[in-house]
Structure 1
Amino acid sequence: MPTWILITISAAFLQNIRSVLQKHLKGALSTTGATFVRFAFGVPFALLYLFGYVWLSGKDLPVFNGPFLFWVMMAAVGQIGAQFLLVHLFSFRNFTVGTAYSRTEPAQAALFAFLFFSETLKISALVAIGVAVLGVMLISVARTTLSIRTLITSTFSRTALIGLASGFLFGVTAASYRKASLSLEPTMVAPDYILQASFTLATAILIQTVLMGIWITFREREQWGCVARAWKPSLATGFVGASASFGWFMAMTLQKAALVKALAQVEMLFTFASSVFIFKEKINRLELMGCGLIICGVLILVLG
């Protein structure tokens, strides 16, 4: 099995754990605070991965260049914006449609990479992305009174447009991280996806920590005290979050971002496994159909 597939599945599993940890933090921190610790407490681990690998491999650090700085900045800011829009959706009573459309990230990443980087995908890959995205959207509306028809007719509602914008920014973020990582190759003796990924991660997470730190200082200063009191769970969140991101960056250095993000939908399967086996929750027919579509999409992607 290709390395990028194993790394992506591992990263999806870690991201599921990070999401659970962040939900626990929501009781002690605001949404901004909980998002901030994901980055800030991940910095030490991102630097550890980078300098630990440099020390073990005996290789030199890549050199900053214009294209790398442009794409990593775009990705870092885009990720914050996408997360903000996703959280903003929850302030609407009918946020479900928007959440479903935010899951179109893999398809939008493929479109962005095609338009700006001339990346193309096989027909089987496009089919896999479509099937997986449909499966995730089904799961997103499964516990509401919405129907497929309502989901389609609500395409131009305010929540749907915000969801699409969030999915677009997540897609741009994924494609930009890949471009940033690949932009390091001209400054290296030989390509090394682990070194490229760790360098990109360390740079991006430092940018995000500084930007969100400035925001909290001027807009939610009281969160600094809350973050300090919640340092233990925050440290766990930072470790798991940085580890998951390291996995994403390695996978996206090896493979096109749209394919990585399509395979990453297996995170939903991990979420449902937790719901059924740990929390003893029941899942309904639409959720089962959604899980089945995700599995079909993943199989098409892997076999294709």
Structure 2
Amino acid sequence: MLWIPFTLLAAFTQALRNAQQKQLSADVSAIGVTLARFIWAMPLAGLYLLLLHLTIPSELPHFNGRFVFAVMAAAFAQIVATILMVLLFQRRSYAVGVGLAKSEALLAAILGVAFFGAQLGLLGWLGILVGAIAVWLMKGKSKPDSTDLSTLLLGLASGLCFALTTLWVRDACHQLTLPFMHTAAWALLWTIGIQVTSLVTWLALRDPGTLAKLWHRPSLVLRISLSSSIASLCWFTAVNLENVGLVKTLGQIEVFFTLLLSQHWLKEQVSGRDRLGLLLIIISAVLVIWPSLPG
């Protein structure tokens, strides 16, 4: 049951981070917005890990080859997923962009069962199916044109990369013989370190102007990184405790928070079709967690 509050907090802080990224994407490239997610998250993750070891002492971990591969794969998959989601924001509203990227729950469940030894019950699969229908509703018009279909594919690609990120993070955490909060914190620090190093190097060599733009938006960049750090830590902890498909389907409740932020903060309009899709996502999350509820 502990995975549920971690997932809910992750969903809320991720919705907040995505709204801030939407704001930044108005004048910063997709790669720059992606870097904003990680750049201050690294020292925050390091500070959290230090405080964790001071309050709950634990031995230092041994990092085997499988752990290193898994965190590297997760780091680059998350970079690609974030870039695709920012591009999605530029095509559709913030709420719909996030909704399409939430296809990751269905994809994570399928990949988890196929390649990572995960198991799901009947209600879990039903919840994932309802979530998939919701994503289809949010793809666009009832008779989609080529733009709608390409947007749907962009959302599915983003969801696939987010799903792979979560599965590889879970695999990395399971390589460490430490308490679950410590394993999540170490995986987070490694992942963010790889992401910051690669993105800063790329932009310094190919697009230094984007680094200058981020330098001139310190408050927004810090808020994005802070909310991203909290979200990532909660996701990493939740998937270390429970099946990825269940965690990510419950995580679709993020779309409820997204709708609130979209309407009341970003002042965007959401269609009736998209509202139905968002409602189905909430139903899908309830179906997934129902077997875990006490009594």
Q: CA deviation at 1:248?
A: 0.5
Structure 1 residue 277 displacement after superposition = 4.8
TM-score by structure 1 length?
0.85
SS of 1:264's equivalent?
A: helix
Q: Take 1:284 and 1:23, find their aligned partners in 2: how far apart are those partners?
A: 19
List aligned pairs for 1:101-140, cutoff 5 A. 102-140=101-139
Deviations 1:120-154 (A, max 9, x none): 2111101111212322442453xxxx11xx35x97
Partner of residue 254, structure 2: 267
Residue 45 of structure 1 and its aligned partner are, at CA, apart by: 0.8
Instruction: Give the C-alpha shift of residue 163 in structure 1.
Output: 3.5
TM superposition shift of 1:50:
0.9
Superposition pairs of residues 134-173 of structure 1, within 5 angstroms: 134-141=133-140, 146-147=141-142, 150=143, 158-173=150-165
CA distance in 2, matches of 1:297, 1:107: 11
CA distance in 1, matches of 2:96, 2:14: 23
1:132 aligns to what SS in structure 2? helix
C-alpha contact (below 8 Å) 1:97/1:154 kept by paired residues: no
> For residues 228 and 76 of structure 1, what CA distance do their matches in structure 2 show?
23
SS in structure 2 opposite 1:184? coil
Q: Measured at CA, do residues 180 and 292 of structure 1 come closer, stay the same or move farther in structure 2, by a change above 3 Å?
A: same
Range with greater deviation from structure 2 (209-218 or 156-165): 156-165
How far does residue 92 in structure 1 lie from its aligned partner after superposition?
6.8
Pairing partner for 2:167 from 169, 172, 175? 175
Structure 1 counterpart SS, 2:208: coil
Q: Is the 8 A contact 1:106 1:258 kept in 2?
A: yes
Q: Structure 1 residue 169: deviation in Å? A: 1.7
Could you say which residue in structure 2 is the equivalent of 1:32? 31
- Residues 36-60 of structure 1: per-residue CA shift (max 9 Å, x gap): 1211111111111111101111212
Deviations 1:165-190 (A, max 9, x none): 332222111111111111112xx4xx
What TM-score, normalized to structure 2? 0.88
Cross-structure match for 2:211: 224
2:58 paired with 1:71: no
Q: Which residue of 2 aligns with 1:20?
A: 19
Q: Report the alpha carbon displacement of residue 103 of structure 1 after superposing the two structures with TM.
A: 3.3
Structure 1 residue runs without a partner (length 5+)? none
Is the alpha carbon distance of 1:232 and 1:158 closer, same or farther for their aligned partners in structure 2, counting shifts above 3 Å? Answer: closer
Contact kept in structure 2, 1:128 and 1:300, CA below 8 Å:
yes
Q: Report the aligned-residue RMSD.
A: 2.8
Aligned CA distance change for structure 1 residues 99 and 44 (closer, same or farther; 3 Å): closer
Aligned to 1:85: 84
Aligned to 1:240: 227
- Larger mean CA deviation between 98-107 and 210-219 belongs to 98-107
Higher deviation after alignment, 49-58 or 162-171: 162-171
Match for residue 42 of structure 1?
Answer: 41
Q: How many corresponding residue pairs?
A: 289
User: Taking structure 1 as reference, are residues 112 and 219 closer, same or farther at Cα in structure 2, changes over 3 Å only?
Assistant: same
Task: Identify the range of structure 1 (25-34 vs 241-250) with the bigger mean alpha-carbon deviation.
Answer: 25-34
Contact 2:49/2:186, CA 8 A, preserved across alignment: yes
Return closer, same or farther for 1:97/1:118 CA change in 2, 3 Å cut-off: same
Whether contact under 8 Å (1:75, 1:173) holds in the other structure is yes
Match runs of 1:4-15 below 5 Å: 4-15=3-14
Pair 72,39 (structure 1): closer, same or farther in 2 beyond 3 Å: same
- C-alpha offsets along residues 216-252 of structure 1, whole Å, 9 cap, x if unaligned? 0121111222222222221121111101110100001
